[in-house]
Amino acid sequence: MQVFYTGAEWSEIRLRLLQKNFRIGLVPTMGALHQGHLDLVKRSKENCDVTVVSIFVNPTQFNNPEDFAKYPQSLNDDLDLLKTEGADYVFTPSVETMYPQKSQMTLDFGPLERVLEGAFRPGHFNGVGLIVSKLFHLIQPHVAFFGQKDLQQVAIIKRLVLDLSFPIEIQTVPTRRENDGLAMSSRNRRLDAVSREKSLLLFQSLSWAKEELLNGTSWLEVQQKVNRNFKQTEGVSLEYFELVGTESFEILKAFDPNQKSSLCVAAEVGKVRLIDNLPVNA
């Protein structure tokens, strides 16, 4: 496994790889890796000749400076995990490398970024779009791999690829969960024992709501019951629990079994913000 730090280093490597007609896969991460990230690496290795993993905590996608400062970082451990998993290259750039000057450009994804994460984290998807565009330009992969847990981000990136004509295939890998159902996330490291137990309410609510919808219960009734459950749980503050079109991310007022839809949730558990989602009939 080779670690590199600049686009110039990668250009030389990539030229040699292309001479061998190698198919290049990219797994963008912000580090603090867990098994969910390693699932992306595994999928890349199954579909590509060479796998590149980027590790970069991107400051432009944090609208809360405190959240950015507290984001867990464990580079040495991450590199050990990636070496064991069989990643070929790891890109660990500095902030100065990715942003030699403060970015003046903004990306607007229209209605797709006006809801859910976009509404609660203004500017977040602009930052995501900027860093992913930079990585796509620098690495020029054939395929990029993203986790389903960040479902709205996946929709944003697919729109980015479509609108900017990136010649890159996007593959989505299912959410990896702990044995009790909690979606794996780097942020889980910040949960204390009490908050860790209460965090299960997210997945429990998603699973119950999916079952109820498929059994014919109205979406309004389901949503109201979930909202009440969160209000009755001390130490957990619900931001949203919504039913959306899986690809459009349009907020739905009713469940249609013939339309691809997903349930999405975000909540503050203790002092840690968690998100999750579950396809209903996607």
**Residue 185 annotated as binding?**
yes
Task: Find out whether 147 and 175 touch, Cβ atoms under 8 Å.
Answer: yes
Task: Count Cα atoms within 13 angstroms, Cβ side, for 71.
Answer: 20
Q: Which residues contact 105 (CB under 8 A, 6 or more apart)?
A: 130
C-alpha dihedral sign at 123, 128, 131, 134: negative
**Residue 130 annotated as binding?**
no
Catalytic site includes residue 142: no
**Residue 124 annotated as binding?**
no
**Residue 74 annotated as binding?**
no
**Residue 153 annotated as binding?**
yes
Q: Please give the Cα distance from 8 to 4 (Å, whole number).
A: 9
Task: Find out whether 93 and 56 touch, Cβ atoms under 8 Å.
Answer: yes
DSSP per residue, 186-247: GGGGG--HHHHHHTHHHHHHHHHHHHHHHTT--HHHHHHHHHHHHHTSTTEEEEEEEEEETT
C-alpha triplet 68, 58, 163: angle, nearest 5°: 135
**Inter-CA distances, 33 with 8, 24, 125, 167, Å:** 26, 21, 21, 27
Q: Residue 52: count other Cβ atoms within 10 Å of its Cβ.
A: 28
**Residue 165 annotated as binding?**
no
**Residue 34 annotated as binding?**
yes
Task: Find out whether 63 and 123 touch, Cβ atoms under 8 Å.
Answer: yes
Give the active site residue among 37, 124, 137, 142: 37
**Residue 73 annotated as binding?**
no
**Residue 228 annotated as binding?**
no
**Residue 186 annotated as binding?**
yes
**Residue 204 annotated as binding?**
no
**Residue 187 annotated as binding?**
yes
**Residue 184 annotated as binding?**
yes
**Residue 282 annotated as binding?**
no
**Residue 237 annotated as binding?**
no
Q: Please give the Cα distance from 75 to 56 (Å, whole number).
A: 10
Query: Binding site membership for (R)-pantoate: which residues?
Result: 61, 153
State the catalytic residues.
Answer: 37
Query: Binding site membership: which residues?
Result: 30-37, 61, 147-150, 153, 184-187
